Structure 1
Amino acid sequence: MAWFLLFVAGLLEIGWAVGLRATDGFSRPLPTLLTIAAMIASIGALGLALRTLPLGTAYAIWTGIGTVGTVIFGIAFAGESASPMRLGAIAMIVLGIAALKLTAPT
């Protein structure tokens, strides 16, 4: 269950990172409220996952999911570059996440 909560927390991190752009500097009320709700839910799910997962592993995976997901969103929907160097960097993050998961004691 902890790994599932960590995955959900990572997805919510993608949501609030993308949502920050939609808030237009926190000047748009609905996107701002949704972004803040995603932030709170993401931290809450991470906190619950940390009951059983190692701190360093869980935090790195949480931020990794958020980072990779946000970059992929930017490439797919915001016209950001999909250069070989960027894709290689994403691949390294994914490999790091996989390695942390495979070496975690739980």
Structure 2
Amino acid sequence: MAWLLLAAAIAAEVLATSALKLSNGFTHLGWSIAVATGYITSFALLAQALKLQLEVGTAYAIWSGAGTAAIALIGFLFLGETLTPLKIGGILLIIGGVIVLN
């Protein structure tokens, strides 16, 4: 159950961060509400996952690493951002670090 909560926390964080770009500096109310709701939901789910069984270092590494990798891919696929070999290497290093911590 803790791992499902962590996965949901990651999804909420990724949605919130994607909405952050779309909020245009918090000038669009709807996207700004989505940002706040997503981050609050993400932290609440992360807190519940930690309460159940996960170690904070491992959970946070997975939460932040998976979120970072997902946002880089979303930026490339949907927001017109570049994905260079150096960025791909950085994402692979993040994934490697999460595996080592786990």
Structure 1 residues 9-37: Cα deviation after superposition (integer angstroms, max 9, x where no partner)? 11111111111111111111111111111
Aligned positions of 1:58-77 closer than 5 A: 58-77=59-78
**Distance of 1:79 and 1:20 partners within structure 2:** 15
Q: How far did 1:100 drift?
A: 2.5
**Distance of 1:90 and 1:66 partners within structure 2:** 11
Aligned equivalent of 1:48:
48
Aligned partner letter, 1:27: T
**Distance of 2:74 and 2:66 partners within structure 1:** 12
**Distance of 1:19 and 1:43 partners within structure 2:** 16
Displacement over 6 Å in runs of 4+:
none
Give identity over the alignment, percent: 36
Aligned partner letter, 2:21: R
- Of stretches 39-48 and 86-95 in structure 1, the one that deviates more from structure 2 is 86-95
Aligned partner letter, 1:39: Y
- Of stretches 78-87 and 65-74 in structure 1, the one that deviates more from structure 2 is 78-87
Aligned equivalent of 1:4:
4
RMSD: 1.1
Aligned equivalent of 2:79:
78
Structure 1, unmatched stretches of 5+, are 102-106
The count of aligned residue pairs is 101
Structure 1 residues 54-77: Cα deviation after superposition (integer angstroms, max 9, x where no partner)? 111111111111111110111111
CA contact (8 A) 1:5 1:46 kept: yes
Aligned equivalent of 2:17:
17
Structure 2, unmatched stretches of 5+, are none
